[in-house]
Copies of this chain bind each other. A is one copy, B any other.
Amino acid sequence: MADPRFFRVRGPFTLATLCGVCEATLADTTAAMTVVSDVAPLQRAGASDLTFLDNRKYVAALATSKAAACVLHERDRGRAPPGMALLLSRAPYRDYALIARTFYPEEAPSAAQATNATVDPTARIGRDCTIAPGAVVGANVAIGDGSTIGPGVVLERGVVLGRNCRIHANVTLSHCIIGDRVTVFPGARVGQDGFGFAPDPRGHVTIPQLGRVIVHDDVHIGANTTIDRGSGPDTVIGAGTRIDNLVQIAHNVVLGRGCIVAAQAGIAGSTRLGDFVVLGGKVGLAGHLTIGAGAQVAGGAGLMDDVPPGTIYGGMPAVPIRNWHRQTLALRRLVKKDQKDD
């Protein structure tokens, strides 16, 4: 069970109810009224818990699991111990996620404005919003209904925030227009000046950064991540995109819908990612590139050229991933050969 100091579990729920929140179906409908009281991993689940099997590496653990119920793929149903209720799913991880969210829905803090928050009189705050202690809301800021502004958050002048956003502690937002259901984790910085200047030995000359950051609906922005505003065009984060911690997104970058950007990746100015692009941890992208929809880049890679849609790249400088693996092997062979020759 999750630590009650931090988490409050709902339920218990019948399996019928839980099938109702996702797309899984019961292998045996007589289990519909079976009640489960929590979720837990395969090995730790007890007799009143629901679990899941997604990664087939853990098939062996299924056989000995004590869970009352398991979300799994049709093909694995034969591996379950007798008596375990089975929720058959084409996407067990997704369906489990939906069930886990039923037990642990996101906490909506009670709507309130702290007496020691600083809210400019020209700011427009929607209904059922929370403004935490120490938050600073600037002139002409607009916050949609049901949004939460955490402690120490700074919303600079003119920022627009949609509905049901969660802006966690110590975040800074400026020069940005943010959609609905956007989550920003602690310490992220969105909308500051891009790294734009004309280099000059007499003193580099700053170029005014006249664009914004447009963040579409359902985006997540990780802790201490930085997203600079555009220099004239905007920086854009497409709907549903997930950005991890300590990521750098430079001015004029455009991310498509549903992209996944892992921690410490960095995208230089004016590069464009299509929809559902996946960047591994620590990936670096040069500026002015075009990354096609659905492309994937392996962790640690350094991209210096465009990437066609649907391809997978790796290495530094990055190449199609099969070539990168071949380079790695060739280098290992070469070392062996050199040693023989010596």
A317 at the interface (CB under 8 A from B): yes
With A97-B207, A170-B152, A266-B282 as given contacts, are A195 and B245 in contact (CB-CB < 8 Å)? Answer: yes
Q: Which chain A residues (61-93) contact chain B, with CB distance < 8 Å?
A: 91, 93
Name A239's closest neighbour in chain B (CB-CB): B203
Q: How many Å lie between the Cα of A236 and that of B276 in the bound state?
A: 32
Q: Which chain A residues (1-15) contact chain B, with CB distance < 8 Å?
A: 2-3, 5-7
Minimum C-beta distance from A91 to chain B (A): 7
A228 at the interface (CB under 8 A from B): yes
Q: Is A258 a contact partner of B204 (Cβ separation < 8 A)?
A: yes
Q: Is B323 a contact partner of A299 (Cβ separation < 8 A)?
A: no
Number of copies: 3
Find chain B residues with CB under 8 A from A332 CB: 319, 323, 327
With A157-B6, A326-B339 as given contacts, are A198 and B302 in contact (CB-CB < 8 Å)? Answer: no
Q: Is A168 a contact partner of B157 (Cβ separation < 8 A)?
A: no
A150 at the interface (CB under 8 A from B): yes
A272 at the interface (CB under 8 A from B): no
Find chain B residues with CB under 8 A from A319 CB: 332
Which residue of the partner chain, among B132, B211, B260, B323, contacts A199 with CB atoms under 8 Å? Answer: B260
A27 at the interface (CB under 8 A from B): no
Find chain B residues with CB under 8 A from A114 CB: 118
A192 at the interface (CB under 8 A from B): yes
Q: Is A133 a contact partner of B133 (Cβ separation < 8 A)?
A: no
A233 at the interface (CB under 8 A from B): yes
Q: How many Å lie between the Cα of A54 and that of B12 in the bound state?
A: 63
Name A193's closest neighbour in chain B (CB-CB): B185
With A5-B140, A98-B205, A136-B152 already in contact, 4 other A-B pairs whose C-beta atoms are closer than 8 Å = A3-B158, A187-B187, A331-B334, A333-B338
A interface residues with partner B (beta carbon < 8 Å): 2-3, 5-7, 39-41, 44, 91, 93-94, 96-98, 100-101, 103-104, 114, 116, 118, 132-134, 136, 140, 150-152, 154, 156-158, 160, 168-170, 172, 174-175, 185-187, 189, 192-193, 195, 197-201, 203-208, 210-212, 218, 220, 222-224, 226, 228, 232-233, 240, 242, 244-246, 248, 250, 258, 260, 262-264, 266, 268, 276, 281-282, 284, 286, 299-300, 302, 316-317, 319, 323, 326-335, 338-339
List 29 A-B residue pairs with CB atoms under 8 Å apart, sorted by A's residue number.
A3-B175, A5-B140, A6-B175, A6-B212, A97-B198, A97-B206, A116-B118, A134-B134, A151-B154, A152-B152, A154-B170, A189-B223, A195-B222, A195-B262, A199-B260, A203-B258, A206-B220, A224-B246, A228-B245, A246-B248, A264-B264, A268-B281, A282-B302, A286-B299, A323-B332, A326-B335, A326-B338, A327-B332, A330-B334
